[in-house]
């Protein structure tokens, strides 16, 4: 996650390219944001082996050591015709670079194209990007001023910039789909001369195995150099740097120059994927992949029949100079995201009970079913669900309806104490699958003794909106846990936290601390008490602590569009450079979206991409700093 300190929007071109979306649509209008990213390095080293720079020694600087701010460029969106295709920060993807050693290159060579800071000192290699070597991490992003050189070239580069990369995979482990197959898809950007960008082959991944390896593909799409758009004013001064981990300590320079950038877009429709059909990402291949290759052939990148290990960098076959922009782009509401399943942890139990339901959310639709992935071991207990009105032991792989998850039971084994854990996942009505979540049931002993614990004191203090509760105990024998309870009327209490008892025995004094946030209780009296629970389930209550927060400073902020449909942008001012928390909450105070950002003194503008996950309704948007909280009401259609 990068921290946005400044948003300098660079509209690279004001041309409106009037086209019909078809296979390999040129990109000519992009929106790039300049940001500041952490990471710095400096060292002295020679040029890279095999290059014309090997005999010279240079002073290398990266990131803040070269340029203290605005050292990365992110591609936010691009425009085709009247449609704006935005980069999705919500879609969870990762990059896998598939390597096959050849006679020229072996191992995990890092070969990078990075923007430099032009200067007259020929002994200095000044690179504005932060120092990073892991190519998979660098390419798992939307960075406009980083990339690689001749990604599929195995031999023939005069500066030694050869590779052993046979395929690049962008994996969406839980799948992603499109509601408008012409309005979402994947983009490739390449540096080079206008009208002379390098061709490549692309295919959508239609199946993966348990390890995330592609096992099936859509049709191959061959992208020619003529399919790229030339992006005006995109000339970038750069260094090529590389490192072989077995022989080199740091990245070393092998070439430099200035080149333009071109872009091309492939929609779901171009790749043969229909609306609402799930894919697991896409793969890029060199141009010499045979047209006859099947899904099985594409999956085996070690087969030299389909992946020659002598592809030349001197030709268009291996010369793709790929920028580090991967992931998915789409117009608003065109991308269908997988649901998210949340971990669930119960309060400690001693006996059989009906357990809380699974927790999962769907962005574009609703949850259709839940699947129990694993079940607790027999030595821990029995998880059961109702099937046809009969309570039946659950089995791994069992699919449950939303109605069934509200009546699950767990019966702990009489000899078991500890945490019984099982896993589950959710499937939404678009047939998209969630992550796998853990469900934890702490089981504690069930003795026949009554809790002898002695509560010595229970006090609370408040600073601004933060409450700190403290209590001391002694005689902790067969103790279970403490439940911190809160009330706004002194009568009806709700649990807000639990603390496990230390069970330190007689004549030992134990100290406990717990905190609570009263931001949404502006100037209201709040009551706290402890519920002290023994391992056998018996309990007693402490006396009540009464606290009252002061008035919270509330200063209006700007937010638009209003009402909003997808992303929400906010503008506010800060007195200093600091970290702020951004919350979107329901009217009753439940926080639904939470993020934090580094901001600068003065006016800041931040787009909250997570807002698109919210259902229609009215919400509170809060910007919280160390000294003030700014709140405004926002509405989503």
Which tens digit of pLDDT belongs to each residue from 42-65? 999 999 988 989 989 999 999 999
Which DSSP category does 298 fall into? H
Are 491 and 392 in the same domain?
A: no
Nearest to residue 29, comparing CAs of 193, 297, 225, 265?
Answer: 265
Contact at 8 Å (CB) between 554 and 572? no
**In this structure, are strands 437-443 and 344-345 parallel, antiparallel, or unpaired?**
parallel
- What distance in Å separates the CA atoms of residue 220 and residue 306, rounded to the nearest whole number? 13
Distance CA(61)–CA(67), nearest Å, equals 9
Using an 8 Å Cβ cutoff, are 519 and 473 in contact? no
In a domain, 117, yes or no: yes
Does 448 map to a domain?
A: no
CATH code for the domain in which residue 395 is found: 2.60.40
Tokens describing residue 215: 């096992």
Mark whether 21 and 168 lie in a shared domain. Answer: yes
- Asked if 516 and 502 sit in the same domain, the reply is yes
474-478 mean pLDDT? 81
Q: Domain with 604 in it: what CATH number?
A: 2.60.40.3080
Report the share of the chain in percent with pLDDT over 70.
93
User: What is the model's pLDDT at position 15?
Assistant: 29
Residue 553 lies in a domain: no
* 115 domain residue, yes or no: yes
Domain presence at residue 459: yes
Residue 81 within any structural domain of the chain: yes
pLDDT, tens only, 601-615 = 878 889 888 888 888
Write down the mean pLDDT value for the chain: 87
Last residue of a domain, one of 495, 522, 547: 547
Q: 405 with 485, same domain?
A: no
Residue range 208-264, pLDDT digits in tens: 998 999 999 998 999 999 999 999 999 999 999 999 998 899 999 999 999 999 999
- Residue 62 shares a structural domain with residue 77: yes
Please check whether residue 349 lies inside any domain of the structure.
yes
The phi and psi torsions of 598 (rounded to 5 degrees) equal -80, 130
The last residue of one of the domains, among 307, 336, 365, is 336
Instruction: Indicate whether 291 and 185 sit together in one domain.
Output: yes
Could you tell me if 106 and 189 lie in one domain?
Answer: yes
Q: Name the pTM for this structure.
A: 0.65
Whether 322 and 464 map to the same domain: the answer is no
Domain identity same for 246 and 266: yes
Are 269 and 418 in a shared domain?
Answer: no
Domain residue limits at 490: 454-547
Instruction: Tell me, yes or no, whether 78 and 15 share the same domain.
Output: yes
Residue 2 lies in a domain: no
Domain count, the chain: 4
How many angstroms separate the CA atoms of 327 and 188, rounded? 10
CATH of the domain at 494: 2.60.40.2060
pLDDT tens for residues 317-335?
A: 888 999 999 999 999 999 9
569 & 521 share domain: no
- Domain boundary among the residues 503, 523, 547 is at 547
């Amino acid at each position: 996650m990068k921290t946005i300190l400044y948003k300098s929007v660079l509209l690279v071109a004001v041309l409106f390219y009037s086209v019909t979306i078809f296979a390999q649509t040129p990109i000519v209008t992009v929106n790039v944001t300049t940001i500041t990213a952490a990471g710095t390095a400096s060292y002295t080293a020679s040029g890279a082996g095999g290059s014309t720079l090997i005999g010279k020694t240079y002073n290398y600087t990266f990131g803040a050591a070269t340029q203290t701010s605005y050292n990365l460029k992110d591609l936010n969106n691009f425009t085709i015709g009247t449609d704006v295709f935005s980069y999705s920060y919500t879609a969870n993807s990762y990059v896998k670079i598939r390597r096959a050693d050849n006679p020229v290159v072996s191992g995990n060579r890092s070969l990078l194209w990075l923007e430099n800071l032009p200067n007259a000192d020929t002994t200095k290699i000044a690179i504005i990007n932060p120092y990073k070597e892991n190519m998979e991490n660098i390419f798992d992003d939307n960075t406009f001023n980083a990339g690689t050189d001749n990604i599929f070239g195995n031999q023939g580069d005069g500066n030694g910039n050869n590779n052993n990369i046979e395929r690049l995979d962008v994996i969406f482990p839980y799948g992603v789909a499109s509601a408008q197959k012409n309005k979402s898809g994947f983009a490739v950007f390449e540096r080079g001369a206008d009208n002379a960008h390098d061709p490549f082959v692309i295919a959508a991944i239609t199946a993966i195995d348990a390890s995330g390896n592609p096992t099936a593909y859509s049709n191959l799409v061959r992208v020619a150099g003529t399919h790229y758009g030339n992006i005006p004013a995109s000339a970038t001064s750069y260094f090529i740097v590389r490192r072989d981990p077995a022989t080199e300590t740091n990245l070393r320079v092998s070439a430099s120059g200035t080149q333009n950038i071109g872009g091309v877009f492939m929609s779901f429709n171009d790749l043969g994927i229909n609306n609402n059909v799930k894919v697991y990402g896409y793969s890029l291949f060199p141009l010499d992949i045979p047209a006859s290759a099947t899904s099985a052939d594409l999956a085996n990148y070690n087969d030299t029949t389909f992946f020659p290990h002598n592809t030349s960098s001197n030709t268009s076959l291996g010369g793709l100079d790929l920028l580090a922009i991967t992931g998915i782009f789409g117009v608003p509401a065109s991308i269908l995201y997988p649901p998210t399943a949340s971990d669930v942890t119960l309060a400690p139990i001693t006996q059989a009970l009906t357990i809380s339901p699974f927790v999962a959310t769907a962005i574009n639709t609703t949850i259709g079913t839940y699947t129990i992935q694993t079940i607790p071991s027999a030595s821990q207990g029995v998880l059961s669900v109702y099937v046809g009105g009969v309570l039946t032991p659950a089995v791994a792989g069992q699919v449950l309806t939303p109605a069934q998850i509200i009546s699950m039971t767990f019966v702990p084994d009489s000899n078991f104490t500890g945490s019984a854990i099982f896993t589950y996942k959710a499937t939404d009505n678009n047939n998209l699958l969630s992550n796998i979540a853990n469900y934890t049931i702490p089981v504690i002993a069930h003795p026949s003794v009554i809790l002898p614990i002695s509560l010595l004191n229970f006090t609370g203090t408040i600073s601004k909106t933060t409450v700190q509760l403290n209590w001391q105990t002694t005689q902790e024998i067969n103790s279970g846990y403490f439940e911190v309870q809160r009330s706004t009327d002194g009568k009806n209490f709700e649990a807000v936290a639990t603390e496990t008892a230390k069970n330190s025995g007689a004549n030992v004094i134990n100290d406990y601390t717990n905190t609570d946030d009263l931001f949404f209780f502006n100037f209201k009296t709040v009551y706290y008490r402890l519920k002290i629970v023994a391992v056998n389930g018996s309990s007693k209550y402490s006396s009540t602590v009464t606290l009252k927060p002061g008035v919270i400073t509330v200063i209006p902020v700007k937010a638009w569009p209003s009402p909003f449909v997808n992303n929400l942008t906010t503008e506010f001012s800060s007195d200093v450079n600091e970290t702020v928390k951004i919350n979107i909450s329901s009217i009753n105070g439940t926080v639904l979206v939470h993020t934090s950002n580094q901001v600068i003194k003065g006016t800041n503008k931040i787009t909250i991409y997570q807002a698109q996950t919210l259902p229609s309704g009215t919400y509170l948007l809060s910007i919280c700093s160390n000294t003030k909280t700014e709140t405004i009401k926002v509405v989503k259609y």
